[in-house]
Structure 1
């Protein structure tokens, strides 16, 4: 991690141990302390690593959690409305989108809730969608092997989601 000095330069980097072949990184607050934490997707070993922030631009040692076959990219969001960050991961080999619900301490419930995507999901992004006069979390996967994207909409309860549509076929 490179921390800025505020003048366009950086301090010496600090390395943090993760799983094998880290592929993607994103920030969220996984333990509800209002500090940024890191999510690292590990391309080998079917896992991801969370590093809880200390509030001073440093992180605690990482905690590895299980993922599905060949995780490729992840996004964090509160997908079930409990005010705890959850993780959505696309899995290149299984062609699934996996959602792991957060416990509020940097760990996640396992096994994940899996949703089928098109062939070769490569990336995922979360967003807020307005539906039925409410804002709900949604997910979009870039399905590289199919040349399409899959859109998933939340249905207001834990584990309730569906593919709303696919584009680009």
Structure 2
């Protein structure tokens, strides 16, 4: 089950569950206005039936029946991301196809429809996660993937016309099994860095970017033995203008917070329990409108999501749980409706 989370002082208003049929195997979700009607729409990666599905928002809380676009036989799409790849102010979609070792790019037309996808080969990498950022400072979105099969992170540079370069890959380590990746400037040199959660080696890694858009130095930080960090996010949790790290530790049923010292190093991990719920995905936002960053966590296997309200000093209140129904929650999307 997937639902849209609304911001309203943490008095969450549940949205209809019926539009998304669980039999399709929804694996991830992203939100954007695909038909330019000012209502948020959703795109869902359905890994069982090998497609993505578009749900058009009708009033901010209800959605149309899905329009499905195939991602290819045996593609097993895992993660979707939304961005403008052609600089035409129209949203496009990228999807990581775990089964066919590829990235599918669907270019938007602006009326809610999408062109037939272009498939970008990723070798034998098994991409399991995707994020979008401008890694080489050319104002064009690039694609970054975490690759389960080759234990690597790959970057595909965007050309601004919907096409991308061949992937440049960086090793995450033997048996690291990188599960997610995010970007931020962690050493305050005005160059984007990469941060990776390595579920196989119980750590997070930072690859420090340089002027050329490549990476030279790296920092490895333990998340504790058996923690299996599955998801990572970035934000300034103590309002010191430095990018901090939050990680969902699936194996230890905890989230971990790493506060940035401002020089590319981090304070020791501080953890918060998710109450025996397997923390699967983590995200950041101001959910109670107090100008302090909070955290949201999906808990796989327990049918709930968790909120940790931030105090603005790097610490968080104890967990608040909200039921999502009988099925496990593995993905979420945030959008201010």
User: Unaligned stretches of 5+ in structure 1?
Assistant: none
Contact in 1 for aligned 2:296/2:307 (Cα 8 Å): yes
User: Unaligned stretches of 5+ in structure 2?
Assistant: 1-154, 326-337
Q: 1:17 aligns with which of 171, 192, 195?
A: 171
Larger Cα Rg: Structure 1 or Structure 2? 2
RMSD: 1.8
C-alpha displacement of 1:156: 2.8
Q: 1:128 to 1:33 in 2, by over 3 A?
A: farther
Query: What CA distance in whole angstroms lies between the structure 2 residues aligned with 1:48 and 1:32?
Result: 19
C-alpha displacement of 1:130: 4.5
Query: What CA distance in whole angstroms lies between the structure 2 residues aligned with 1:10 and 1:165?
Result: 41
Considering Cα pairs closer than 8 Å and 6+ residues apart, tell me whether 1 or 2 has the greater RCO: 1
Query: What CA distance in whole angstroms lies between the structure 1 residues aligned with 2:278 and 2:232?
Result: 14
Q: 1:36 aligns with which of 182, 192, 199?
A: 192
Higher mean displacement: 29-38 or 6-15? 6-15
Higher mean displacement: 61-70 or 91-100? 61-70
Query: What CA distance in whole angstroms lies between the structure 2 residues aligned with 1:105 and 1:146?
Result: 39
> How many residues in Structure 1 have an aligned counterpart in Structure 2?
166
Q: Give the TM-score taking structure 2 as reference length.
A: 0.46
Say if 2:270 is the partner of 1:116.
Answer: no
> Corresponding residue for 2:216?
60
Larger strand percent: 1
> Corresponding residue for 1:103?
261
> Corresponding residue for 1:157?
313
Q: Give the TM-score taking structure 1 as reference length.
A: 0.88
Contact in 1 for aligned 2:256/2:270 (Cα 8 Å): yes
Query: What CA distance in whole angstroms lies between the structure 2 residues aligned with 1:165 and 1:137?
Result: 17
